[in-house]
């Protein structure tokens, strides 16, 4: 099936504006307009096209595991939760092989994080295109020998390392007491401190920690942390030092990325008393992992279509011919999100 999305508004972060244009999709990928003979034309004059959202770490599966023991039901429910909110790429902490295997049978791109290296090897051997692995390291529970082994395994296989240093002053204090050093110094001594490290919760970071972190990805969840009275991340300092940032998903409450982006903007601007320190385009980059969205030729066509004028509720259409999900999702009664995700 060849589709022309006519007059859709594509956001360019580089130019900080929307550009109205036609976008063509064929066989699950974006294609050029030259000599394109579409099977269908979709009138998208009221729609905005954005990249899909990304969760850089999540604990939704752990929540769902408390409600059901079926691996396929866990994977299906978690995937559905993320998909309904516009995500196409997720990271979940999972320590059960059958659950991980079930995620591999779904279409959403999933990275499984675990501290069990044998489990990670089994998952790798599944050889699923949409399923990758990452290494979980706990500086409190893991022995130094365990940490060395995990870091060596991650580096050997080119895998990301996920660790929680600064969730709270209590946790950071426990790590510091155990090693007589700050958490970030401990991470450096173990060889963790590079672009492959993801710091999964960062409420109590200070200026010196941020400077020392280098190219580490900092994950944030300001909406959930504030609601739970855990505090909030020092986003003003993070932005000042141009750190890589992404959102993570501690629970289902934190799935709404539009609310997450709004919370990040408010926290950052209020904490620094500066309305210009963080722009909407910066937060969108954090939410999507994309600095410049461009429907380029031969790239997989995965995107969001947002339309404020549609009124259908609870509608799900699965267009099997082009392997496309089209799921209008109702938010708060004032606008609708259309998630179109095309698989090759």
**pLDDT tens-digit series, residues 237-288:** 999 888 999 999 999 999 989 889 989 999 999 989 998 898 888 898 999 9
What's the pLDDT at 117?
Answer: 98
Q: Report whether pLDDT(310) > 80.
A: no
Q: What are the extents of the domains in the chain?
A: 2-51+292-342, 53-288
The predicted-structure confidence for 271-281, as pLDDT tens digits, reads as follows 899 988 988 88
Q: Return the residue matching tokens 């051997």.
A: 125
What is the model's pTM?
0.86
Cα angle: 247, vertex 252, 257; to 5 degrees: 40
Rounded Cα distance between 300 and 303, Å, is: 9
Rounded Cα distance between 97 and 119, Å, is: 7
Q: Which CA distances in Å does 139 have to 144, 153, 173, 175, 179?
A: 8, 16, 12, 7, 9
According to the CATH classification, is domain 53-288 in 3.60.20.10?
A: no
Burial of 184 (0-12, 13-18, 19+ CB in 10 A): buried
Burial of 252 (0-12, 13-18, 19+ CB in 10 A): middle
Cα angle: 16, vertex 213, 52; to 5 degrees: 35
Q: Quick one: fold of 2-51+292-342?
A: Urease, subunit C; domain 1 (2.30.40)
Beta bridge partners of 329: 337
What's the pLDDT at 343?
Answer: 36
Percent of the chain exceeding pLDDT 90 equals 56
What's the pLDDT at 309?
Answer: 58
Residue 88's H or E segment, with its range, is strand 87-93
The predicted-structure confidence for 142-176, as pLDDT tens digits, reads as follows 999 999 999 999 999 999 999 999 999 999 999 99
């Amino acid at each position: 099936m060849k589709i022309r999305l006519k007059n859709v508004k594509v956001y360019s972060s580089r130019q900080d504006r929307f550009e109205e244009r036609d976008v063509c999709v064929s066989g699950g990928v974006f294609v050029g307009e030259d000599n394109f003979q579409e099977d269908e034309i979709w009138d998208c004059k009221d729609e905005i096209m954005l990249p899909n959202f990304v969760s850089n770490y999540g604990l939704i599966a752990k929540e769902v595991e408390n409600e059901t023991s079926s691996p396929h039901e866990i994977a299906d429910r978690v995937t559905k939760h993320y998909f309904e909110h516009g995500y196409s790429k997720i990271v979940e902490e999972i320590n059960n092989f059958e659950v991980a295997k079930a995620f591999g049978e779904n279409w959403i791109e999933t990275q499984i994080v675990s501290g069990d290296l044998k489990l990670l090897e089994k998952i790798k051997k599944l050889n699923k295109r949409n399923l990758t692995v990452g290494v979980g390291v706990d500086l409190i529970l893991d022995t130094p020998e365990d940490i060395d082994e995990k870091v060596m395994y991650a580096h050997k296989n080119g895998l990301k390392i996920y660790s929680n240093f600064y969730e709270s002053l209590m946790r950071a204090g426990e790590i510091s007491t155990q090693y007589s050093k700050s958490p970030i110094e401990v991470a450096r001594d173990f060889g963790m401190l590079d672009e492959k490290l993801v710091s999964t919760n960062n409420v109590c970071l200070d200026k010196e920690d941020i400077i020392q972190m280098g190219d580490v990805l900092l994950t944030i969840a300001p909406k959930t942390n504030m609601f739970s009275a855990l505090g909030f991340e020092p986003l003003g300092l993070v932005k000042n030092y141009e750190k890589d940032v992404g959102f993570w998903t501690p629970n289902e409450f934190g799935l709404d990325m539009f609310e997450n982006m709004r919370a990040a903007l408010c926290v950052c601007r209020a904490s620094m008393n500066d309305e210009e320190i963080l722009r909407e385009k910066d937060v969108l980059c954090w939410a999507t992992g994309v600095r410049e969205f461009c429907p380029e030729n031969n790239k997989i066509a995965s995107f969001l279509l947002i339309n404020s004028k549609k009124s259908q509720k609870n509608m799900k259409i699965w267009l099997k011919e082009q392997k496309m999900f089209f799921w209008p999702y109702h938010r708060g009664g004032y606008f609708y999100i259309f998630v179109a995700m095309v698989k090759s």
